[in-house]
Amino acid sequence: MKKRALAFMLTGVMAAGSLAGGTAVVQAEGKSKVTLTVAAAADWIKDRDRELADAFTEETGIKIDFQLNPNDQYVNIVKAKLASGEGVDIFYANTGQGILEYSPDKYALDLSDQEWVSRYTDWGKECSAYNGNIIFLSRNSIDGYGLIYNMDLLRETGKEIPTTYEELVELCEIYKEKGIVPIFEPGADAWHGCVWVLELADYLNRKYPDMYEKLNTPEGKFADYPEMLTFTEQLSSMVQAGYFGEEEDWLSYTWNDRTEKMASGEFGMMLTNIGAMDTLLDLYPEDAEDKWQMGLVPLAGNNTFSHNGGNMGTVINKESKYTEEAKLYFDFLARQENLQYYYDSQKSANIPFEGVKLKDNVLWNSIVKACDNQMGPDFAACIPFYSADPIGKAYIENWIGDKTPEEVIEQMDNDRAMMFGVTE
């Protein structure tokens, strides 16, 4: 962090009552000896998070220990730590119905009385709430998955961004003939397999208005919606046609490879969320809009954009010994100047806090245009137990020939029914 920015954040002195719980944790010399543990997946913590944590430690003496876990094991590890009674002090979790994975009634601290809650936008409050109480510090954008296109390669084909399955297949065939791998797929990260079908959610919700209500019960099944099978079959056909490239290659690619692979010009497109591509856009500061655009996932008739409704937030473990210190940390992160610093280092399209200036985001602009502003929350935001890792693994098993499309959907439904049973 630049010294000037750091100094700006540290101009205030923690006076009694200026921060919630401040007098309880600041010792006589003005510093605390506490260490807060924060659970996150391996690639969720960025330089900006570490820099803000260091500034918080400088101000309060409270240290931040980021405990990073493999992406595909994160949920199970955190649930086990919480259940052990030796859980972390703060953990990341999906907002909306995704929080049910973590038994929020038992573990999520009510933050409704915190000052920064008053600076949430309406959708910020909505995505940060559970049973009427604010339990999240949410700083993420509304985001979602689309196909990002290398526009230089696309223009060479004379085609536009596909809006139908048939157009997408036609483009992939052209790329194959040119020796370009049509789609970069990070098959080594199983969770990524599940996000393809996330993009069918809003389309189905518009077609079946009671879908989310049904899928919020143990009886609700994905198999009840024929488009789910069509989507899965079409995606499987694309993989079998070689649009991910050679199996031994795409199964070894990782999510962390995404910037390098897309910048190489070897791949025509990839499925990604908008926020994950900041580093790629930074490589093209003058012509990012000409170089990269995003389109919908047009399988099974989909013509809308499904988003996460705010996605990920941080929760304070109600059973932590250091809930007051954790509230101090949240208060620090939510200070207006610290929020501005946080967002200055990225290209968030929209955020849950008011009063922060944002940079323009070419991918958000293009996906809004592609969907004609028709968008809504995805499965992960609206139903419980949409678990990335098992769903992703089921799709990969289909792509390598070990499961039929019907078996993929059957497993999704069986896994969710079992999880409903566990929480009863």
Map tokens 């900041």 to a residue: 278
Taking the C-alpha atoms of residue 6 and residue 11, their distance in angstroms, rounded to an integer, is 9
The pLDDT, as a whole number, for residue 20 is: 34
Question: By C-alpha distance, which of 303, 341, 366, 347 is closest to 52?
Answer: 341
Spell out the domains of the chain, with CATH numbers in brackets: 3-141+310-344 (3.40.190.10), 145-307+362-423 (3.40.190.10)
**Strand stretches in 123-281, DSSP E:** 129-130, 133-134, 137-138, 145-150, 181-184, 267-273
Query: How far is it between the farthest Cα atoms of the chain?
Result: 72
Among 14, 279, 278, CA closest to 143: 278
Contacts of 300 (CB under 8 A, 6+ apart): 165, 200, 203, 227, 228, 230, 231, 234
Tens digit of pLDDT for each residue in 72-98? Answer: 788 889 999 999 988 899 999 988 777
Residue 394, SS3 per DSSP = helix
- Here the tokens at position 250 are 């795409």
pLDDT, tens only, 361-410: 899 999 999 999 899 889 988 888 888 889 999 999 999 999 999 999 99
pTM of the predicted protein model? 0.76
Nearest one of 424, 418, 416 to 216, comparing CA atoms: 416
φ and ψ at residue 68, rounded to 5 degrees: -95, 135
Q: Which two tokens stand for residue 413?
A: 């439904």
Q: Please tell me whether residue 332 adopts helix, strand or coil conformation.
A: helix
Report the C-alpha gap between 290 and 259 in whole angstroms: 17
Residue 345 is predicted with a pLDDT of: 79
Return the SS3 of 67: strand
Alpha helices, DSSP H, located in 201-303: 201-207, 211-215, 226-240, 247-250, 258-263, 278-282, 288-291
pLDDT tens sequence across 324-343: 999 999 999 999 999 999 98
pLDDT tens for each residue of 213-235? 999 999 999 999 999 999 999 99
Cα–Cα nearest to 245, from 263, 277, 270, 272? 270
Neighbours of 164 (CB within 10 A): 14
Parallel, antiparallel, or unpaired: how do β-strands 312-316 and 90-94 relate?
antiparallel
| Whole-number percent of the chain with pLDDT over 70 | 92
